[in-house]
Amino acid sequence: MAGVVEELVKKAGGCAVIDGGFATQLEALGADINDSLWSAACLITKPHLIKEVHMQYLEAGADVIISSSYQATIPGFLARGLRQEEAEGLLRTSVHLALEARDEFWKSTLTKPKPIYNRALVAASIGSYGAFLADGSEYSGSYGDNIMAEKLKDFHRRRLQVLASAGPDLIAFEAIPNKMEAQASFRSNGRVQALVELLEEEDIQVPSWICFSSVDGKHLCSGESFGDCLQILNASEKVAIVGVNCTPPQFIEGIIREFKKQTGKAIAVYPNSGEVWDGRAKRWLPAECFGRKSFDVMARRWQEAGASLIGGCCRTTPSTIRAVSKALKGRDRALISLESSESV
C-alpha cells in the first residue's frame, strides 16, 4: 500500500499537493451549508457545486482531491428522513463526483500541448465521530463518558465499507481529535487502534491515511500524546500516511519534525488558515490568519522538515493551493511523467 503513496509523491516531484477547504469554497459558490450535515448537505441539494469545487482544486494543482463525505454519515442522513439505501448511495456519490471530476480534468489536460498536471488521486474522507455530533466536540475530543471504543468502531464500520467499495484511491480519516477514537481496547496483544482494527477486520485494500488535529502543536485536541497514537499506527500496513489537518499553520513545522522522530510513514499536513472555529456558536473567531503568500513560504519549510503531502483545510481556497503547488513544484514545467500517462 505504501507503493501507491511513493509513486504519487515521486510523480509530484517529491511532495504531493492536497486540495484545500471544501466548505469554504462551496460557500464562495453560493451554497448554504448552515446544516447539521455541513458541506455534505450539498450531496442532496447541489451536487454540481461539489464537482465544481473539485475542478477548481484540480486546476489549482492538487495531486489529491478529497471527497465531500467528511460529515456525511448514515445516521446523519437517516435523521434527515432518508432510507438506508439512499444514505449509502449518497456516500458513493461523494466518491463518484470526485472521480468524475478527476477523470474529466485529466482527459482535458492530455489535449494540451504542454501539460503541467499530474493525474490526481481521490481520497474518500471519513470524519471523526465528533463531526457527526456537530457540537464542537471534534475540536475538543470530548465525546462524553458513555462513548466507548467499540461504539466508535460500529459508528465508522458501514461508512468505511461503502466508501471503500466506491472506488477511491485512498481512504482519509480526518481530524481525529482524541486517543479514545484511536484506541479500541486493552487486549492480550496490547492496545489496538480502533480505526486500524476496522481496516483489518474489514480487510480494506485501499491505502489509508489517518490525520489528527491539534490546538497547541504538541498534543491532540484532547491534550493526549501524538506519540502514543503513532506507535499504534506504525504497526499497521493498512495505514500508509499519518499526519495532521485542521490545525493552525504556525504549529505544523514543529509537528512534522516530531513525527519524523516517531514514524517512518509518509507525513501529510493540511492546516487551516489559522482562524478558530467556535463549534457551539457556529462561527469563525478572529485570529492570526495566514494568507496565500505565507502559505508559499511555509509550504517550502514543511517540505524541508519532512512532509510528503501538503495542502490546506478550513478557510483555505484554490488560491492557497495554487500558491502551494507553485512553491513546491513550479507551474512552469511539465509535471506529467511517462508512467502517469500510461496509467490512463
Query: Binding site residues for Zn(2+), as ranges?
Result: 246, 313-314
Q: Give the contacts of 133 (CB within 8 A, at least 6 positions apart).
A: 143
**N- to C-terminal Cα distance for the chain?**
20
CA distance 269 to 99: 22
CA distance 72 to 198: 18
Cα 79 to Cα 26, 31, 82, 117, 188: the distances in Å are: 23, 21, 7, 41, 38
Dihedral (Cα; 321, 325, 327, 332), 10-degree rounding: -130
Buried b (16+ CB within 10 A) or exposed e, 281-292: eeebeeeeebee
Kindly state the greatest CA–CA separation across the chain.
60
Residue ranges at the known binding site = 246, 313-314
Q: Give the contacts of 62 (CB within 8 A, at least 6 positions apart).
A: 17, 18, 19, 20, 120, 311, 321, 325
* Eight-class DSSP state of 325: H
Three-state DSSP class for residue 249: helix
CA distance 170 to 1: 10
C-alpha cell of 38?
A: 455541513
CA distance 101 to 83: 27
